[in-house]
Amino acid sequence: MILGSGLGGLADSIDQPTRIPFEAIPQFPLPRVPGHQGCLIFGNLGGIQIAMLQGRCHLYEGWSSEEALVPLRTLIDLGIELVILSNASGGINPRFRSGQVVAIDSHIDWLFQGPKIPNPNPAMASMLGRSHRSYDPLWIARAQETAIELGFQLSTGTYLATLGPNYETRAEYRAFAQMGAEMVGMSTVPESLLAMRSGVPVLAFSVVTNVANPDLPSATEHSDVLEWSKVARSKLEPLVKTIASKYF
């Protein structure tokens, strides 16, 4: 699992954790954004083994896509069975509300820096010319069923990734809405593409930290993003823990 902005506290729910700072692992990039601690944690969650990346590196920090993906690529090489991604996003869909957890079921890639796969085998090479696999519908359904058991509804939506680090203008929000985006952020898509192309199912959650109204001027600070992410932890933490205990 990769923890996005303000969600690093989810790592506190891991039992018997072994913590390794990114700086102690060769070739691991170091996050430079508040709310991303930069720590690899192994342990148990809901009775199953988990590897958790507490924080991520964004492309706008100056990392290349290949550099930023080293931590996830390392875990894929170790044989993980499921990738759970999380991020903080701006809400475009007016039905969403601040602090809401949404499952990503599709994305729009405005980063244009997908992960490279060196020397793909013939089967992989033929797949790269086609559209990527979707966010895993089975795991989305399981997450929605689990959310109902926990007393809330888990909506789904399309996530648009931009490079950043600036937040969007009102005109951009209008354009993104017309394109079909319901949330916008600055991460996740390269990680999901890497996992999908590596044959690992992906379950991704986005925490809506502010819902934009293109007709009204407003300002969003990173501190606001972190605060709304903390609110969402009360739903995301039991959701992930219950999914782990039920399906592994």
Q: Is 175 marked active-site?
A: no
Question: What single DSSP character describes residue 94?
Answer: T
Q: Is 58 marked active-site?
A: yes
SS3 assignment, position 104: strand
Catalytic residue among 13, 51, 52, 61: 61
Question: What single DSSP character describes residue 170?
Answer: H
Q: Is 68 marked active-site?
A: no
Catalytic residue among 1, 5, 168, 229: 5
133: exposed, middle or buried (C-beta count within 10 Å: 0-12, 13-18, 19+)? Answer: middle
Q: Is 173 marked active-site?
A: no
Q: Is 107 marked active-site?
A: no
Catalytic residue among 222, 227, 237, 247: 222
Q: Which residues does 198 contact at the CB level (< 8 Å), separation at least 6? A: 76
Q: Is 60 marked active-site?
A: yes
Q: What are the distances in angstroms from CA 212 to CA 10, 32, 147? A: 26, 26, 25
Q: Is 89 marked active-site?
A: no
Here the tokens at position 87 are: 């991020």
Catalytic residue among 89, 93, 187, 229: 187
Q: Is 187 marked active-site?
A: yes
Q: What are the distances in angstroms from CA 178 to CA 1, 164, 171, 193? A: 31, 20, 11, 24
Q: How far apart are CA 87 and CA 206, in angstroms?
A: 5
Catalytic residue among 88, 147, 195, 196: 88
Catalytic residue among 60, 98, 132, 175: 60
Q: Is 247 marked active-site?
A: no
Q: Is 210 marked active-site?
A: yes
Catalytic residue among 1, 11, 51, 58: 58
Q: How far apart are CA 134 and CA 107, in angstroms?
A: 9
Catalytic residue among 13, 36, 68, 161: 36
Catalytic residue among 1, 52, 183, 186: 186
Catalytic residue IDs: 5, 36, 58, 60-61, 88, 186-187, 210, 222
